[in-house]
Structure 1
Amino acid sequence: MAKHRITAATKTGIARALLGASVLASALGANAVTASADTATGVAAATAARHPAAAIAAHQDGAKTNETKVNVTADQVLSLAKSQVGTSENSSGGGTKYQQWYADSRRAAETVARDGGSRADYLNAAWCSMFVSWVGEQTGARPQVGWDAYTVAHAKWFAANHRFGNEAKPGAVVFFSWSGSKSLNDINHVGFVVKDNHNGTISTVEGNTGDGTVAERVRPTSQVVGYGYPQYAA
């Protein structure tokens, strides 16, 4: 299981997120094969309840998805995401380039202001959403993929831009809830859709999955809350 450091002195949104996720993961126990590292989100789901407007309205660089076109295809995004398969965190739940990039980014300052904590907290925080954000940044698709460390806020950004739905499309950003909930506030994890297998499952590529790695997975659609749709080039 991926480890995510919690500093005792920190009582911020990020620290509460890591604590709550760790408690949940412990409660699920060894049988939670697909939920272990994935369960921890970048910031507590409670943050959305406390700051719903901030979670929904985060403009992410001032650009809404339906206003900014990018010359990047879904295949290009998936190609980069797949090239990262095998990248792993260290024993403290950190050490990835995705966490380092996010902690150094301007977006980190914005999400710290929203959720509390400090940039340094992201260096050992759950990084599934940071991985998705990094892929968007590196491919030039960030205005369409978005960037956030908090899965709930990331999903609500798509929803606020009317780019959220229920159809699995290659390159879509897929949001999961291990409980099967369809509420955006219950999102636990995020990745990219590779394909719809048309048998009740989807193939994905995800960061911070399993034992804290980038990996390709097959997920039941019953765990999907919904999909964010970047407006890729054809």
Structure 2
Amino acid sequence: MAKYRLTAAPKTGITRALLGGAILASALGAPLAANADTATGVAAATAARHPDSATAAHKAGDRSEETKVNVTADQVLSLAKAQIGTSENAAGGGTKYQQWYANSKRAAETIARDGGNRNAYLNAAWCAMFVSWVGEQTGARPQVGWDAYTVAHAKWFRANHRFGDVAKPGAVVFFSWKGSKSLSDIQHVGFVVKDNQNGTISTIEGNTGNGRVEERVRPKSQVVGYGYPEYAA
């Protein structure tokens, strides 16, 4: 059975408790996260206070719509595939994705937005950090965006008019396990490898299964939508 973590991000740090079954939210609106297919990142309490902030969405990256990068979808997917098998430690941390994010400029920005501190990211749910890391390492960050909170990441794509419902290779795919189409219900994120033309997509995701990078096949019914990096041809 998959084990889910409830993640709260107080201003002094982060608390993780193992749960079995459904994901629960705290009364303060703390973020939901899981090592098995559910990751909303660090400190979503701010998002609960500002559920549809276009300003926060724009701050998920440092690009304008006109920014171009000379990186292809194949290059991004190649690096993502090379990460398959990377695993977190018993505490839910220890990955290079979490370590990179905790030390990044973006972490300072999301701490200002959400609270917490840099150390909080070291054992936090890391699916969005994985996507962000791949973008950084390939030079596609202005197109892929970067965040630790999946909802803010999706809102950034939408605010930049690059969010839709068609699966494309290299797209950033956002999931809700209950099939919701609301961005506020997003629980997990990964990269689309291909549309299987049978109601499913193949993906590469971090923080899935038992806290690993894995290639998965997902039903489209669980997809909230897709973010479209403007890759080079």
TM-score by length of 1: 0.87
Cα drift, residue 45 of structure 1: 4.7
User: Which among 19, 25, 28 is matched to residue 22 of structure 2?
Assistant: 28
- Aligned AA for 1:165? G
The equivalences for 1:140-151 within 5 A come to 140-151=139-150
Quote the RMSD (CA, aligned, Å): 2.3
Distance change >3 Å, CA 36–CA 129, structure 1 → 2: closer
- How many pairs align? 220
Deviations 1:125-181 (A, max 9, x none): 000000000000000000000000000000000000000000000000000001100
- C-alpha deviation, 1:95, in angstroms: 0.1
**Which secondary structure state, in structure 2, belongs to the residue aligned with residue 38 of structure 1?**
coil
Give SS of 2:21's match.
helix
Higher strand share: 2
For residue 56 of structure 1, report the CA deviation from its aligned partner: 2.1
Q: CA deviation at 1:47?
A: 3.1
| Cα distance in 2, alignment partners of residues 128 and 175 from structure 1 | 10
Describe the superposition over 1:185-231 as per-residue Cα deviations: whole angstroms up to 9, x where unpaired: 00000000000001000000000001000000000000000000000
Aligned to 2:37, the other structure's residue is in SS state helix
CA contact (8 A) 1:2 1:36 kept: yes
Distance in 1 of aligned mates of 2:152 and 2:38: 16
Deviation at 1:49, TM superposition (A): 2.8
Relative to the length of structure 2, the TM-score reads 0.87
| Pairing 1:136–2:146 present | no
1:84 deviation in Å? 0.2
Partner Cα distance (2:151, 2:43) in 1: 9
Classify 1:5/1:166 alpha carbon distance in 2 versus 1 (closer, same or farther; 3 Å). closer
- Distance change (3 Å), C-alpha of 1:159 and 1:15: same
Are positions 1:165 and 2:159 aligned together? no
Partner of 1:223: 222
Q: What is the distance in 2 between the residues matched to 1:150 and 1:166?
A: 20
CA gap of 1:223–1:158, structure 2 versus 1, over 3 A, is same
What are the equivalent positions in structure 2 for 1:1-234 lying under 5 Å apart? Answer: 1=2, 11-12=10-11, 15=14, 23=19, 26-28=20-22, 37-51=36-50, 52-53=52-53, 54-58=55-59, 60-61=61-62, 63-64=63-64, 66-234=65-233
Higher helix share: 1
Q: Name the CA distance, whole Å, in 2 between partners of 1:14 and 1:3.
A: 19
Instruction: Provide, for residues 48-96 of structure 1, a one-character-per-residue CA deviation record: whole Å limited to 9, x for no partner.
Output: 23124253231523x22x2210000000000000000000000000000
Q: Distance in 1 between matches of 2:89 and 2:124?
A: 12
Rounded to whole Å, the distance in 1 between the matches of 2:96 and 2:35 is 21
> What percentage of residue pairs aligned between the two structures are identical?
74
Measure, in 1, the Cα distance between the counterparts of 2:147 and 2:127: 10
* 1:166 aligned partner, one-letter code: D
User: 1:216 is matched by which residue type in structure 2?
Assistant: E
User: Match for 2:127: what amino acid?
Assistant: C
Distance 1:36 1:98, change over 3 A: closer
- Between the aligned partners of 2:138 and 2:211, the Cα distance in structure 1 is 23
Aligned-partner Cα distance in 2 for 1:13–1:186: 26
Q: Distance in 2 between matches of 1:172 and 1:140?
A: 16
Where structure 1 has 5 or more consecutive residues not aligned to the other structure, the ranges are 30-34
Distance 1:196 1:80 in 2: 19
